[in-house]
Amino acid sequence: MNERRGQALLGFQTLSWDATFLTGSLRALGWLGNLPFTLADELAREG
């Protein structure tokens, strides 16, 4: 019983780590997607 609980806990930790990694990747992709617009805004503000 204890071993099964340990496996479930390990699976849950892996799942939560995957979710954290996924949201981090999506956030990075969103930041990269916004980068050209941010640069264009900066250039327009300077010029």
Assigned token pair, 46: 């300077």
pLDDT of residue 30: 95
pLDDT of residue 21: 94
Work out the number of other CB atoms within 10 angstroms of the CB of residue 19: 10
Q: pLDDT tens track of the chain, all 47 residues? A: 688 898 988 888 899 999 999 999 999 999 999 999 999 999 999 97
Q: Say how far apart CA 29 and CA 33 lie, in whole Å.
A: 6
Q: Say how far apart CA 26 and CA 37 lie, in whole Å.
A: 18
pLDDT of residue 47: 79
pLDDT of residue 1: 64
Q: Say how far apart CA 43 and CA 47 lie, in whole Å.
A: 6
pLDDT of residue 3: 87
Q: Is the pTM of this model over 0.95?
A: no
Q: What one-letter code names the amino acid at 35? A: L
